[in-house]
Chain A
Amino acid sequence: MSLLEIRSLTRRFGTFDAVRDLSFSVEAGEFFTLLGPSGCGKTTLLRLIAGFDQPNVGQILLDGRDLAGMPPEARPIHTVFQSYALFPHLTAWDNVAFPLKMTGTPSAEIRRRVGEMLDAVHLAAQASQFPHELSGGQQQRVAIARALANRPRLLLLDEPLAALDKKLREEMQVELISLQRTVGITFIFVTHDQHEALALSDRIAVMREGRIEQLDEPSRIYGSPGSRFVADFIGHCNLLDAKILALNAQHLQLEIAGLGQLVAPPAAGLESGQIGTLVLRPEQLTIQREEPLQFDNRFSATVEDFLYVGDVTTYQVKLDNGFVLQALLPNMAAGRARFFERGDQVWVAWPREVGHYVPND
């Protein structure tokens, strides 16, 4: 039995379906991420699970038990809010002790548990400080410690890292993973940041307009996006409108308007004549001066622009049909960051094993 099971859940606001006939399940101990652009329904879904909102249709089951009619305070589900929502009149220690006091935990047990939780988030030294005396990162840790203090079955995290600066955010990501492993509590993490989702999750549900567009492991979401939307939303990519000319077990023969034919790996459920999109990640392309005869997919192009970010450089190359591709090259040579300048005539190429074809919706 899954820890959490969502069955054909719908939440309607007027004529707008914020959550539309959603079904999925989350396993115990999982780090599960809801990823999507703002307005995709992920926060609504979180509020439904926490109990702050009621679905119009559908069920939410925790350990096989229907949660309908159970108020938030009775659900063994806690939330880490985006703005933390720490109690300003209570110290870090009292904030963490709050849920334990609500359930009438004996005070010796409260002392032990709060101490443990503050140790786990490295805040033992700040126990007697008030929220306004703590930094953003420390407040974040208090919020997480507080939500975990009486060991909920499920922890919901609503964009908890959004308010932190980049470096702190990356530190907290690492800590979140190790904390989740230590406490063994199931996390449902909401974010619109694809990097965060890829870095943290066991599984990701990519949401769009109240539905789940794709639910899979991070590497499969990135490597084999199920739709053009997912491909576009997760990471940078080149999207080429393509028509299937022929297919067999080894490869797809594609026709790209104004460019010609190329070869891509096959996927299940495709048929000849279908119209769709070929997804190419920038790091899958290479750029060379001489014509790379070893590649089936090669086109002459002009370097339009480049973006140097230290470890890698992203080149924008314009194909002869006017289409612009992005190619990412690692800067491995010492002392030399760029290989090409603007206006260089080059060849852009990729092996027939890369690329991912998705039929149109």
Chain B
Amino acid sequence: MSRMIESRLTRRLVGTPPTLFLLIFFLAPFLIIAFASFQYPGEFGGLAPLTGHGNGDHGLTLENYQFFFSDFIFTEIFLHSLLVATLSTLLCLLLAYPVAWLIAHSARKHRDLLVLLAILPFASNFLIRVYAWMIILGPQAALAKAVNGMLALIGLEPVSLLFSPFAVLVGMVYVHLPFMILPLYTSLERHDPLWLDAAQDLGANAWQRFWRVTWPLSLPGVFAGSALVFIPVLGMFAIPDILGGTRDMLIGNLIKDQFLGVRDWPFGATLSVMLTLAVLALAALAGRAARQGRRHEQ
């Protein structure tokens, strides 16, 4: 009995700092933003006062949300952003998995160096890395010339690689790739090589060994990496700004414009709240799917 109390106490003590951290750095800002989304915009940007002196809008309102749902364009931007985030995550997973696997299966003494190489791009400035892609994808670069040369051969019009959804995707994947490699590597590196020996011994061919043993056992890494890629991509505005065309607007750009461009803070806050809710809903859905998948396995 006393041990139960003790363990409950331990759990509280251990659990309190992360809880506090979440309260201060996640819940509090979210509540501030959520509150702002029910306010009126101020006359010169910012927020209107809650109590007014006769002139101008004041107090609380649902107008921002009515506006969001009144025009389908916002939902469309949301869906488009989700699509870009999903595609980026899948591409990152596809590219990162073999890299992480190779690092995890290389000689122990080389692994640290290889991990370092994988995260080395972080050593240079984010904007410089993205601008570098402007040059690589630019119309004068070898890549664009090669692609358009080939298109010309089969009689197609030349295309612009830069300022296109393709360029945005390339930038997103490139910038976020290390976030996928690292959790995958930490997960794969912990795998006991004997699991694969056992699987092979029990009749599993190469594909079955991957699909039945390596892949399911790396799922924690897959989920962690996917979250680390999906969520930042969803809110990213710099890459679409630099590499995307004018028509390629994502939620991140929209929100940034509301706060810094149009200076309609309440509507920016509304968009932020909708984005957070969408992410939470997706996380809940993914969690449920994972649990159901596990139950189905049995």
Residues of A within 8 A of B (CB): 50, 52, 71-74, 77-79, 81, 83, 85-91, 93-94, 98-99, 101-103, 128, 146-147, 150
* A146: chain B residues within 8 A (beta carbon): 202
- Distance from B295 Cβ to chain A, minimum over Cβ atoms (Å): 11
- Distance from B217 Cβ to chain A, minimum over Cβ atoms (Å): 5
Q: With A73-B204, A81-B194, A128-B298 in contact, is A98–B199 under 8 Å at CB?
A: yes
- Distance from A4 Cβ to chain B, minimum over Cβ atoms (Å): 16
**Docked complex Cα distance between A146 and B199 (Å):** 11
- The answer to whether A85 and B208 have CB atoms under 8 Å apart is no
- Distance from A350 Cβ to chain B, minimum over Cβ atoms (Å): 49
- The answer to whether A85 and B205 have CB atoms under 8 Å apart is no
* B194: chain A residues within 8 A (beta carbon): 81, 83, 85
- The answer to whether A87 and B197 have CB atoms under 8 Å apart is no
Interface check B227, CB cutoff 8 A: no
- The answer to whether B192 and A85 have CB atoms under 8 Å apart is yes
* A90: chain B residues within 8 A (beta carbon): 297
Q: With A73-B204, A99-B203, A103-B203 in contact, is A85–B217 under 8 Å at CB?
A: no
Q: Which residue of B lies closest to A99 (CB)?
A: B202
- The answer to whether A102 and B213 have CB atoms under 8 Å apart is no
**Docked complex Cα distance between A50 and B275 (Å):** 55
- The answer to whether B298 and A81 have CB atoms under 8 Å apart is no
Interface check B152, CB cutoff 8 A: no
**Docked complex Cα distance between A147 and B199 (Å):** 10
**Docked complex Cα distance between A98 and B194 (Å):** 15
Q: With A91-B298, A102-B208, A128-B298 in contact, is A85–B198 under 8 Å at CB?
A: yes
Q: Which 10 A-B pairs have the closest CB atoms?
A: A85-B198, A99-B202, A102-B203, A85-B194, A72-B200, A79-B201, A102-B204, A89-B216, A73-B200, A73-B203
Q: Which residue of A lies closest to B294 (CB)?
A: A89
* A87: chain B residues within 8 A (beta carbon): 195, 198-199, 213, 217
Interface check B291, CB cutoff 8 A: no
**Docked complex Cα distance between A94 and B216 (Å):** 13
- The answer to whether B217 and A102 have CB atoms under 8 Å apart is no
* A77: chain B residues within 8 A (beta carbon): 201
Interface check B212, CB cutoff 8 A: yes
* B170-213 contact mask (Cβ, 8 Å, vs A): 1 or 0: 00000000000000000000001011011111111100100011
* B202: chain A residues within 8 A (beta carbon): 73, 78, 98-99, 102, 146-147
- Distance from B218 Cβ to chain A, minimum over Cβ atoms (Å): 10
Q: Which residue of A lies closest to B204 (CB)?
A: A102
- Distance from B187 Cβ to chain A, minimum over Cβ atoms (Å): 12
Number of residues in B with C-beta < 8 Å to the partner?
19
**Docked complex Cα distance between A249 and B81 (Å):** 97
- Distance from B252 Cβ to chain A, minimum over Cβ atoms (Å): 36
Please indicate which of the listed interface residues A89, A103, A150 has the most CB atoms of chain B within 10 Å of its own CB: A89
- The answer to whether B298 and A93 have CB atoms under 8 Å apart is yes
- Distance from B192 Cβ to chain A, minimum over Cβ atoms (Å): 7
- The answer to whether A94 and B297 have CB atoms under 8 Å apart is yes
- The answer to whether A78 and B201 have CB atoms under 8 Å apart is yes
- The answer to whether A72 and B213 have CB atoms under 8 Å apart is no
**Docked complex Cα distance between A98 and B195 (Å):** 12
**Docked complex Cα distance between A199 and B203 (Å):** 31
* A102: chain B residues within 8 A (beta carbon): 202-205, 208, 212
- Distance from A143 Cβ to chain B, minimum over Cβ atoms (Å): 9
**Docked complex Cα distance between A50 and B297 (Å):** 29
**Docked complex Cα distance between A101 and B213 (Å):** 13
Additional pairs, 15, CB under 8 Å, beyond known A88-B217, A98-B212: A52-B200, A52-B201, A72-B197, A72-B200, A72-B201, A73-B203, A73-B204, A74-B203, A77-B201, A78-B201, A91-B298, A94-B297, A98-B199, A98-B202, A101-B212
**Docked complex Cα distance between A91 and B204 (Å):** 18
- The answer to whether B216 and A150 have CB atoms under 8 Å apart is no
- Distance from A146 Cβ to chain B, minimum over Cβ atoms (Å): 7
- Distance from A339 Cβ to chain B, minimum over Cβ atoms (Å): 51
Q: With A73-B200, A81-B197, A99-B202 in contact, is A94–B298 under 8 Å at CB?
A: yes
Please indicate which of the listed interface residues A74, A81, A98, A150 has the most CB atoms of chain B within 10 Å of its own CB: A98
Please indicate which of the listed interface residues B200, B201, B208, B297 has the most CB atoms of chain A within 10 Å of its own CB: B201
Q: Which residue of B lies closest to A127 (CB)?
A: B298
**Docked complex Cα distance between A79 and B197 (Å):** 10
- Distance from A89 Cβ to chain B, minimum over Cβ atoms (Å): 5
**Docked complex Cα distance between A159 and B203 (Å):** 21
**Docked complex Cα distance between A77 and B205 (Å):** 15
**Docked complex Cα distance between A78 and B258 (Å):** 65
* B205: chain A residues within 8 A (beta carbon): 73, 102
* B212: chain A residues within 8 A (beta carbon): 98, 101-102
**Docked complex Cα distance between A87 and B212 (Å):** 10
Q: Which residue of B lies closest to A71 (CB)?
A: B200
- Distance from B223 Cβ to chain A, minimum over Cβ atoms (Å): 14
**Docked complex Cα distance between A128 and B297 (Å):** 11
Q: Which residue of B lies closest to A147 (CB)?
A: B202
**Docked complex Cα distance between A99 and B212 (Å):** 11
Q: Which residue of A lies closest to B208 (CB)?
A: A102
5 cross-chain CB contacts under 8 A? A73-B201, A79-B198, A86-B198, A94-B297, A147-B202
* B197: chain A residues within 8 A (beta carbon): 52, 72, 81, 85
**Docked complex Cα distance between A277 and B65 (Å):** 98
* A89: chain B residues within 8 A (beta carbon): 216-217
**Docked complex Cα distance between A98 and B213 (Å):** 10
